[in-house]
Amino acid sequence: MKSLALLLSVLQATSGFPHGPGETTSSSPAIAPNASTTLNSPVPEGVFLEKHLSMQDTPKTPGAKMIKTRTGPFNLKSMEMVSSTPRLRVDMPCTDCYLTAMEAGLELEDGTSVNIDSGAWLHHMVLYIMGPGHSDLTCPLNWPERIYAAGNERTTARLNEKEPLGIKVGKSDRLAMIYDLVNNAMEDRTFYVTMMFEYVPSTSPEFAAHKPAKCLWLDITNCGDSEEVAPPTPTFTLESQPYSMARGGRFINGYGHVHDAGQKVSITVNNDIVCDSAQLYGREAGFIESREGENPGMAHVSDAGTCREYGGWKAGDKLSVKTFYDSRTTPLNKMHDGSVQEVMGIAINYVVEE
């Protein structure tokens, strides 16, 4: 995410934020396999994948509704990448509501969903909420409040597996986004970034029972731009500095994000692993790179394992994130100029502060 300084200056100027630089249980983390999976392969034992959202399905949450928003158009020339571009206002799914599940996507103007097999990358996107009372849990001086993020694997985030929780959206709140998109096709194309939301409106009888959750972002660069140069070894581990937590809380749901060659993301509390998010490759045809790409036929990250109800922490505890890479198992990704892509290690956690 290269345009950090530009992004921060623009978002701060417009939002009033301060300036500044399978199954998972609470007792046993899910252990990620150190191997790539294959097309249509079963989910490895011990790994849980959250079900994708669909506008055709009945919402899982009682009293909830579904909505799909589109942000764009984004016009990309053949073999063009746009990196860390801010979008200061995106369509609101609702106001005076709770967001209970979220999922990103990428599509063409006619609504066709596109992926790496047709040369289209939702390389990254981060969704922010801005308004009274909103502040990022881990980097309040560096970022507006982050509530969702996805790479091209397009992970579904669900906040309410066992209790009525959600991201609270007030009447005057607004959403903003940054996005990285790539067009590896031989022709120019127009893209839209989509978001599917499950939400509980204030008019629902279930609304009063809901309580607010927060997104707790852990990053190997701590409050930096999330990217590190890959070390010149086939296997390596990258780890954040500890985050010292001012308040206690508990984990509701979480998942990791890596770049290609990443095998798992581990979340630790006082150096004890509480969640391992497995990174799976090429389980659907859309995640196999097209012939026009820099890595023809390569299987890319297609799924990130989700941890659920994995314990908590006390005030003063140290939270960290580790990411494990092995390019012998799954190769690093090459960019347009032939260079090796930088690597990431991020954990998106949904939590309740106590």
Residues of the chain with pLDDT > 70, as a percent, come to: 89
Asked whether 318 and 226 are in contact (CB, 8 A), the reply is no
Rounded CA gap, 129 and 229, in Å?
30
Q: Could you tell me the pLDDT band of residue 101, with boundaries at 50, 70 and 90? A: very high
7-21, 108-122, 169-183, 268-282: which has the minimum mean pLDDT?
7-21
16-30, 49-63, 264-278: which has the minimum mean pLDDT?
16-30
Pick the residue with more confidence: 274 or 1? 274
Rounded CA gap, 135 and 126, in Å?
15
Model confidence over 321-331: pLDDT tens digits? 999 999 999 99
Q: Could you tell me the pLDDT band of residue 38, with boundaries at 50, 70 and 90? A: low
Structure tokens at 4: 């950090």
* Strands 189-201 and 312-313, bridge-based pairing: unpaired
Rounded CA gap, 167 and 171, in Å?
13
**Res. 87: pLDDT tops 90:** yes
Q: Looking at residues 260-274, what average pLDDT do you find?
A: 98
Q: Could you tell me the pLDDT band of residue 288, with boundaries at 50, 70 and 90? A: very high
**Res. 154: pLDDT tops 90:** yes
Task: Look at residue 34 in the predicted model and tell me its pLDDT.
Answer: 32
Pick the residue with more confidence: 294 or 90? 90
Q: Looking at residues 193-220, what average pLDDT do you find?
A: 98
- Which residues is 342 bridged to in the sheet? none
Q: Looking at residues 68-84, what average pLDDT do you find?
A: 95
Structure tokens at 165: 């929780």
- Which residues is 218 bridged to in the sheet? 347
Buried b (16+ CB within 10 A) or exposed e, 325-336: bbbeebbbbeee
Q: Could you tell me the pLDDT band of residue 53, with boundaries at 50, 70 and 90? A: very high
Rounded CA gap, 243 and 270, in Å?
10
Q: What is the DSSP string of 78-119?
A: TTEEEEEEEEEEE--S-SSEEEEEEEEEEEETTS-B--GGGT
Q: How many residues does the chain have?
A: 354
Q: Looking at residues 195-214, what average pLDDT do you find?
A: 98
Rounded CA gap, 21 and 139, in Å?
9
Residue 174 parent element (H or E):
strand 174-183
Task: Look at residue 16 in the predicted model and tell me its pLDDT.
Answer: 37
Task: Look at residue 29 in the predicted model and tell me its pLDDT.
Answer: 37
Task: Look at residue 159 in the predicted model and tell me its pLDDT.
Answer: 96
**Res. 214: pLDDT tops 80:** yes
**Res. 270: pLDDT tops 60:** yes
pTM here is 0.90
Structure tokens at 105: 């996507």
Rounded CA gap, 251 and 274, in Å?
10
Rounded CA gap, 307 and 195, in Å?
22
Rounded CA gap, 201 and 185, in Å?
40
Report the chain's mean pLDDT, rounded to a whole number. Answer: 90
Rounded CA gap, 318 and 246, in Å?
10
Burial of 77 (0-12, 13-18, 19+ CB in 10 A): exposed
Nearest to 262 by CA among 350, 320, 148, 342: 342
Domain range list for the chain: 22-353
40-44, 80-84, 143-147, 282-286: which has the minimum mean pLDDT?
40-44
**Res. 313: pLDDT tops 90:** yes
Q: Give how far the C-alpha of residue 242 lies from the chain's centroid of Cα atoms, to the nearest Å.
A: 21
Pick the residue with more confidence: 140 or 335? 140
Buried b (16+ CB within 10 A) or exposed e, 37-74: beeeeeebebbbbbeebeeeeeeebebbbbebebbbeb
Asked whether 182 and 84 are in contact (CB, 8 A), the reply is no
Task: Look at residue 17 in the predicted model and tell me its pLDDT.
Answer: 33
**Res. 256: pLDDT tops 70:** yes
**Res. 352: pLDDT tops 80:** yes
Q: Could you tell me the pLDDT band of residue 14, with boundaries at 50, 70 and 90? A: very low
Task: Look at residue 44 in the predicted model and tell me its pLDDT.
Answer: 94
Task: Look at residue 218 in the predicted model and tell me its pLDDT.
Answer: 98
